[in-house]
Structure 1
Amino acid sequence: MARQPRPMTPWCPWFALGLLLAADAVAQTPKRSFLFNDSHVHLTNYVQEGCDIRHLLSVMGDKVGRATLFGIPLQQQWSYRVSGSAAPTYYLQTDAPLYYYSFTDAFIANAYLSLPKEQRARFEPMITGFNPTDMYAADHIRRVLTVYPGVFSGIGEFTIHKEFVSSKVAGEVASLTDPALDRLLDFAGEVGLVVLLHNDLDAPFAEEGSTPVHLEQIKALFKRHPKTTIIWAHVGVGRVVRPVEHHIELIEGILADPELRHVSMDISWSEVAKYAVATPETARRVAETINRYPERFLFGTDEVSPETQSKYLRVYTQYAPMLEMLTPEARAKLLQGNFARLFDAARLKVRAWERSQRPPAAAP
């Protein structure tokens, strides 16, 4: 029998409420003792299924203060010709292509707006449903902001080069040199949106010791957009794109470059943590880098629709050996402070931009 996809949580028509949001004020999370803020968590998966936003709040509980809120911008096609009645839920389970799924932004906005105001303050919704090879991608972002004022703080996580994913996406392959990407990053900078970008530093199975394939292009991209707040997801590491030789030195070179002060790093994902704490020496070196640049790193889980709190906290637990080596200042900024600083500033800027887009009031 063909697998029936799990039904999505129904969403309500909150469009009118979105237009009535009090966007002038930045809501503050009630002061509690949380373990961390999460810069990287997915509400839905590659077939746009996931937990209800209230369930995510319950697993955050009293452990996670604030979190980004986004799905996955790509939908895995279920091609009966390819996999028959075996319905894939992950991109590695079929040879069928992925395609961009713009409705994810409406789904995320309506999930967010279904919460009372005090609970909304714990989330930073992000726009992801755009094709970064399309010159109209920036227009999609503009449209989402005007349809859902008072909701979004950033864009991403979206992908340019990602092992096994990029080659599966239908249409043109994304590129760090594409004018469409420059156009949308320019727009994000104009509005004040935080950008969460996934781009592997190297190609899968690259020759050991060679210069990482994407290093120079991604540095050039960052430098072309000095007014845009960018978070580089996973510090360029992938599942098989392992940290290259001298990876930490390459990252420190970016952090030390005064032209790249607008770029931060997210250390989310269990695969990144695996390499970071592989040995006491790797944990020490990662901690020393964060201690040297305490304002440039954010903690994230990269969990997808976590079912339980223990699963949600596994990456935090995995990082324990490294976290113990941080100074109190660096630990506080990594786990909570940098998230609050970047996203509080984004809220203010984006709300101001939204107000500037309102049509002038009609003369009496």
Structure 2
Amino acid sequence: MAWFGLNLASVQAQARSYQYTDAHLHYVNFFQESEGIQALIKAMDKNNVSSAMLTGLGPIKKWDQKSPRKPKYYMADDGAVYWYSATDVIVARAVLSLPKSQQQRFHPFITGFNPSDLNAVNHVELMLELYPGLWQGIGEVITRHDDLTALTYGETATADHEALRAVFDLAAKHRMPVNIHSNLTSSRIHEPQYLSEMERALQRHPQTIFIWAHAGTSAAVNRGVILDDLDKLLARLLNQYPNLYIDLSWSVLDDYILDSKGRPKNEWLKLINAYPHRFVLGSDLVGNFSNIGKELRTFNTLLDALSSEVANQLAHTNFLRLLPAAQTPK
């Protein structure tokens, strides 16, 4: 009977299908190029993605005159990266080109500002004025981001930078969540040396909803450092800061949540079950959308190990609950 019960549970898990909300999707790449909104809709329809956070990319890669060919990625050469405000206009025009029925599937976030510029909040206010009723969040705010930080012109952006205080306050005023990329460490240091920056932001802005991209990890950092007990660190932060939510997009899944055999680790299942409303999933695609289903389905092993209720929250509804319309009292 025990064998039968386990086998039945396994079959039921395998039979599950999921409706996804993509909580981390970039409409453009690091050259502000995109396949286009119709290609995105086609990919979403094909892969059971009902809605998506949609943002641009604040940084743009420079094609340096000394580069023999046009780079195809920000790490393709040592040419610099700079901040590009028109990324928000590109996103706004794409969404507004759609009929209302399709517009409702997208949740645009503002990202076209330099996070180390005290004028940053002015850009956010301008976007809210130019496109009233369109924007539903802010980010991905890119602060510490391994090689990207090293290539970016000017001052290093940090989660606790003075320039971001007004941005975070404005987000709270408009009940807009903030997706923020803030690495816990560098690729050579085995302690979370930048954690205090993220904690200061959380402490200073208790009314601001923060979605922490990749739970403070990145693929580049993970190649050199895997932090011990990340699940325990997140448990402490989630308990201490009710305004914190965790984006589990790919670098967390591959290097932390799954074991060497591709199975979810018990400690991560325990963490997600303890805070079932505090995690979201995203593809983190940049301008090319053909792999949206593949990226989101990589989470199915994790989802199948959770109850159907928690799995649905993680795959679909948790992100939607954070948006301004969902937070408005009825």
Match of 1:181 in 2: 164
Q: Residues 215-271 of structure 1, C-alpha deviation per residue, up to 9 Å, x if partnerless? A: 1221121111011111001011111323410111001111111xx1011001012x3
Query: Taking structure 1 as reference, are residues 140 and 185 closer, same or farther at Cα in structure 2, changes over 3 Å only?
Result: same
Residues paired across the two proteins, number? 307
Q: Residues 172-227 of structure 1, C-alpha deviation per residue, up to 9 Å, x if partnerless? A: 11123321111211111112211000011111221x3xx31111221121111011
The alignment yields a C-alpha RMSD, in angstroms, of 1.8
Instruction: Work out which of the residue numbers 30, 48, 56 in structure 2 matches 1:71.
Output: 56
In structure 1, give the amino acid aligned to 2:53: T
What displacement does 1:64 show?
Answer: 0.3
> 1:172 aligns to what SS in structure 2?
coil
Match of 1:291 in 2: 273
Q: Distance in 1 between matches of 2:110 and 2:280?
A: 19
Q: Are the counterparts in 1 of residues 264 and 305 from structure 2 also a CA contact under 8 Å?
A: no
Describe how 1:160-171 pairs up with structure 2 within 5 A.
160-171=143-154
Match of 1:267 in 2: 248
Describe how 1:142-291 pairs up with structure 2 within 5 A.
142-206=125-189, 208=190, 211-242=191-222, 243-257=226-240, 260-269=241-250, 271-275=251-255, 276-279=257-260, 282-291=264-273
Match of 1:38 in 2: 22
In structure 2, give the amino acid aligned to 1:294: P
What displacement does 1:89 show?
Answer: 2.3
Q: Residues 271-328 of structure 1, C-alpha deviation per residue, up to 9 Å, x if partnerless? A: 32211223366533222211110010011111123342xx212222322222111122
Q: Residues 138-168 of structure 1, C-alpha deviation per residue, up to 9 Å, x if partnerless? A: 1110010001112110111121101101121
Q: Distance in 2 between matches of 1:346 and 1:108?
A: 22
Describe how 1:311-330 pairs up with structure 2 within 5 A.
311-330=291-310
Query: Taking structure 1 as reference, are residues 344 and 327 closer, same or farther at Cα in structure 2, changes over 3 Å only?
Result: farther
Query: Taking structure 1 as reference, are residues 348 and 54 closer, same or farther at Cα in structure 2, changes over 3 Å only?
Result: farther
Query: Taking structure 1 as reference, are residues 57 and 34 closer, same or farther at Cα in structure 2, changes over 3 Å only?
Result: farther
Query: Taking structure 1 as reference, are residues 345 and 38 closer, same or farther at Cα in structure 2, changes over 3 Å only?
Result: same
Match of 1:136 in 2: 119
In structure 1, give the amino acid aligned to 2:29: N
Q: Residues 122-146 of structure 1, C-alpha deviation per residue, up to 9 Å, x if partnerless? A: 0001111001111111111001000
Q: Distance in 1 between matches of 2:303 and 2:313?
A: 12
Q: Are the counterparts in 1 of residues 23 and 282 from structure 2 also a CA contact under 8 Å?
A: yes
Describe how 1:105-116 pairs up with structure 2 within 5 A.
105-116=88-99
Greater than 6 Å deviation, 4+ residue runs = none
In structure 1, give the amino acid aligned to 2:281: F
Q: Are the counterparts in 2 of residues 284 and 322 from structure 1 also a CA contact under 8 Å?
A: no
Match of 1:337 in 2: 317
TM-score w.r.t. structure 1 length?
0.80
Instruction: Work out which of the residue numbers 59, 65, 80 in structure 1 matches 2:43.
Output: 59
Q: Are the counterparts in 1 of residues 158 and 197 from structure 2 also a CA contact under 8 Å?
A: no
Q: Distance in 2 between matches of 1:348 and 1:151?
A: 16
Match of 2:110 in 1: 127
Query: Taking structure 1 as reference, are residues 34 and 61 closer, same or farther at Cα in structure 2, changes over 3 Å only?
Result: farther
Describe how 1:79-90 pairs up with structure 2 within 5 A.
79-81=64-66, 83-84=67-68, 86-90=69-73
What displacement does 1:348 show?
Answer: 5.1
Q: Are the counterparts in 1 of residues 178 and 209 from structure 2 also a CA contact under 8 Å?
A: yes
Query: Taking structure 1 as reference, are residues 142 and 347 closer, same or farther at Cα in structure 2, changes over 3 Å only?
Result: farther
What displacement does 1:34 show?
Answer: 5.6
What displacement does 1:44 show?
Answer: 0.6
Q: Residues 39-79 of structure 1, C-alpha deviation per residue, up to 9 Å, x if partnerless? A: 00111100011111011001000500110111211110001
Q: Could you list the runs of 5+ residues in structure 2 that have no partner in the other structure? A: 1-16
In structure 1, give the amino acid aligned to 2:260: T
> 1:66 aligns to what SS in structure 2?
strand
What displacement does 1:332 show?
Answer: 1.4
In structure 2, give the amino acid aligned to 1:201: L
Q: Distance in 2 between matches of 1:150 and 1:347?
A: 15
> 2:183 aligns to what SS in structure 1?
coil
Q: Distance in 1 between matches of 2:285 and 2:89?
A: 21
Instruction: Report % sequence identity.
Output: 33
Mean Cα deviation higher: 232-241 or 121-130: 232-241
In structure 2, give the amino acid aligned to 1:123: F
Q: Distance in 1 between matches of 2:324 and 2:171?
A: 15
Match of 1:20 in 2: none
Instruction: Work out which of the residue numbers 86, 101, 104 in structure 1 matches 2:84.
Output: 101
Q: Distance in 1 between matches of 2:105 and 2:44?
A: 10
